[in-house]
């Protein structure tokens, strides 16, 4: 492996660093198969459901704007550990939820946790693999991200369907997993020396951390991340509901497994396609986005599980190529002293794409019909994908 000589940590330490990303993203989707149970328990609408899901992006953006550059200043580990605590607090709120206020607060906290962990963990891996192995670092970070997204809904769906306490046990197990990751991370040395003399000197003012000279190069991967994560948002927020309502399958584990399929295929494709150039990966992901959303519409219209599974497989390939390609470009263009800041800015684009289009879909689905909302969503994402393709070629 080309990156072995550059590593400054042992393999277990590298796995622990990658696990920060994985476990944070798992926490963002462990609730995905449980939304229908919360709707039944608290009696809220589809619009409220999408708002509960999408408030996550508020936490993401707050974390990335205010805290994205902090690990560049005080070190990666000092930022990663509090991110795990935030994820545990989010799970605790879900565990104790007595109304939608708890759900909103829990989603806000997991958004903060993911925002901090994703930028910090990705930058930490890039540090450890070294400048000559940015590609390996990118593959590792992206696979960790999608591996966590594959684990979360599968864990939540299986426990909710086949174990007692469907709205409690998934979060108890998740908190235990967080504890294991924290223990594994505790002996790992920080990758960067503190860049400030004291805590009072830490800079936390809001800023988008992209140097002016990189605006043009940064735009194409940012737009690609937006549309790729918009597809993910459709699955993470609403596909389990589609399985229940339109495919007439009420097994919570099935809805969770469909979402897990998306992320598992994406993780596998990221590893298998790691030799593809970033430009080819981004372009391929954007092109495949069109049939992916088209197949989702067809599956919903026909009430076909077979079509949905095919759509999910295509969507998984789309997410892998679009995400890995765009993230690798960001890792390659980011200056070492602003790496977490630039990476965090990229993730802002991803997280906004992950949430904002889903709100529009929820509103349309409530005001019209769910299928109509999905058709409009698919058309919008297709148009944005075409824009991203044109933008990439123009740069």
Report field, pTM of the whole predicted structure over 0.75: yes
Answer yes or no: are the C-beta atoms of 348 and 64 closer than 8 Å.
yes
pLDDT of res. 4: 44
Two tokens, residue 41: 């328990």
Answer yes or no: are the C-beta atoms of 273 and 323 closer than 8 Å.
no
pLDDT of res. 278: 86
Q: Is 211 left (phi over 0), alpha (psi -120 to 50) or beta?
A: beta
Whole-angstrom Cα distance, residue 389 to residue 395?
A: 10
Angle, in degrees to the nearest 10, between helices 169-185 and 76-95: 170
Q: Which residues of the chain have pLDDT under 50?
A: 1-5
Whole-angstrom Cα distance, residue 296 to residue 231?
A: 10
């Amino acid at each position: 492996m080309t990156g072995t000589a550059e590593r400054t940590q042992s393999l277990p330490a590298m796995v622990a660093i990658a696990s920060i990303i994985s476990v944070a993203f798992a926490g963002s989707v462990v609730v995905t198969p449980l939304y229908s149970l919360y709707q039944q328990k608290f009696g809220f609408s589809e619009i409220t459901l999408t708002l509960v899901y999408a408030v996550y992006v508020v936490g993401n953006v707050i974390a990335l704007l205010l805290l994205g550059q902090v690990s560049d200043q005080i070190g990666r580990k000092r930022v990663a550990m509090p991110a795990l605590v935030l994820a545990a607090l989010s799970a605790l709120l879900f565990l104790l939820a007595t109304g939608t206020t708890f759900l909103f607060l829990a989603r806000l906290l997991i958004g903060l946790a993911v925002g901090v962990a994703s930028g910090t963990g990705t930058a930490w891996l890039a540090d450890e693999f070294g400048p000559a192995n940015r590609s390996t670092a990118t593959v590792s970070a992206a696979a960790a991200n999608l591996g966590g997204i594959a684990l979360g809904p599968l864990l939540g769906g299986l426990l909710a369907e086949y174990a007692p306490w469907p709205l409690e046990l998934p979060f108890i197990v998740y908190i235990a997993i967080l504890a294991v990751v924290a223990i594994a991370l505790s002996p790992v040395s920080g990758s960067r020396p503190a860049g400030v003399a004291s805590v009072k000197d830490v800079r936390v003012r809001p800023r988008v951390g992209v140097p002016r000279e990189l605006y043009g190069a940064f735009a194409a991967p940012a737009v690609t991340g937006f549309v790729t994560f918009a597809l993910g948002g459709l699955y993470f927020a609403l596909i389990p509901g589609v399985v229940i309502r339109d495919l007439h399958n009420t097994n919570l584990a099935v809805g969770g497994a469909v979402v897990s399929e998306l992320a598992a295929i994406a993780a596998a494709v990221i590893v298998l396609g790691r030799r593809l150039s970033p430009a080819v990966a981004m372009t391929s992901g954007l092109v495949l986005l069109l049939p992916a959303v088209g197949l989702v519409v067809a599956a919903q219209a026909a009430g076909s599980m077979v079509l949905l599974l095919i759509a999910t497989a295509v969507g998984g390939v789309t997410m892998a190529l679009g995400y890995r390609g765009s993230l690798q470009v960001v890792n390659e263009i980011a200056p070492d002293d602003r790496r977490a800041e630039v990476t965090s800015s990229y993730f802002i684009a991803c997280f906004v794409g992950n949430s904002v289009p889903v709100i529009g879909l929820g509103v349309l689905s409530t005001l019209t019909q769910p299928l109509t909302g999905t058709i409009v969503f698919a058309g919008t994402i297709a148009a944005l994908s075409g824009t991203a393709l044109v933008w990439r070629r123009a740069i």
